Amino acid sequence: MIRAIALSLALLIGIGTIVPLATNYAEAGPRKHRKYKQKKKKFKKYSKAWWREYRKKKKRQQAIAARKRALRLRQIRLAKAAQENGKSDVFARPTVVKSPKAADDSTEAVLPTGEKAPQGWKKAEATSGEVQFRVDDNNGSQIGSASISVVGPAMGDDSSTGRNKTLAGVPQASLRRTVIDKMIRENGWVVNDYQKDLGGKKVYVVVAQSQGTNGGVQSRIFYFTEVEGRIYSVATNAQTEDAERLAEESEKVINSLQNRVRSVQQAAKE
């Protein structure tokens, strides 16, 4: 009897000791993870392997420094070109003091090339480097708006191979990014982008949409083309049913800009 009681007590004490220890190493217990550090290769200083790794490291540092210098140089050139474009007289027009009503009825909208703007285009606000137009239908009701602006200087030749597609050396991805940023500010979105030829020159087109004031969807089309070493943008904003008309008129404006360059070049040859 005494032996049975002793064995029972020993069994209870053993179970009470084993259960907490087992629980500590089971899922319920805390876990400790070892951190393994990646071992770096060690080379004897000034050995062939050491010099090989040293040259690789220097090449990486030089490549990073070169990319930083190129980016900085490009930023300086863009800033300088933007400053020069702000002082350019391409968009300068003599100011005529008239009453607002008389100006709307008699003043014809003129493109930066000096040619007459498409029918229904009326000159609106103008800033340095940008001309804005109001577009009306045959009844005089506004159906949309358009603008012509200078994006920046051309950087080189066109490239349409692989992912590195460019327009006059400027990456098309950068031009698309300018439209995306504009759409983000105006609660819009980009639908499509493509490249086409107008008058024998490549033109990059970005199609976007935005929410209209009346709850409808506005069609936004951005044309980018190179003229006289600069990237010009012709942008339109209209209701979906009038987008095709503004697109055709925008292409006429681009042809006008390109023809201006051809006429100047022909005059110089003569």
Sequential pLDDT tens for the chain (270 residues): 777 787 777 777 777 677 666 665 555 445 555 555 566 677 788 788 888 888 898 898 988 988 888 888 888 888 877 777 654 444 444 444 444 443 444 456 777 777 778 877 888 776 667 888 888 888 878 888 888 988 888 887 777 776 678 888 888 888 999 999 988 888 889 999 998 888 788 899 999 998 877 777 889 999 999 888 888 999 999 888 888 888 888 888 888 887 765 444 443 344
- Asked if 179 and 110 sit in the same domain, the reply is yes
Give the contacts of 202 (CB within 8 A, at least 6 positions apart).
Answer: 158, 160, 167, 195, 196, 225
- Asked if 72 and 104 sit in the same domain, the reply is no
One-letter identity of residue 206 = V
Using CA atoms, how far residue 149 sits from 15, 131, 222, 244, 257, in Å, is: 85, 6, 11, 21, 12
- Asked if 75 and 159 sit in the same domain, the reply is no
Assign residue 99 the CATH number of its domain: 3.40.1000
- Asked if 131 and 220 sit in the same domain, the reply is yes
Residue 217, domain member (yes or no): yes
Name the residue range of residue 196's domain: 94-269
- Asked if 72 and 102 sit in the same domain, the reply is no
- Asked if 99 and 140 sit in the same domain, the reply is yes
Structurally, how many domains does the chain consist of? 2
Give the contacts of 117 (CB within 8 A, at least 6 positions apart).
Answer: 108, 109, 110, 111, 123, 133, 253
Q: Which pTM value belongs to this model?
A: 0.56
Question: What distance in Å separates the CA atoms of residue 223 and residue 5, rounded to the nearest whole number?
Answer: 97
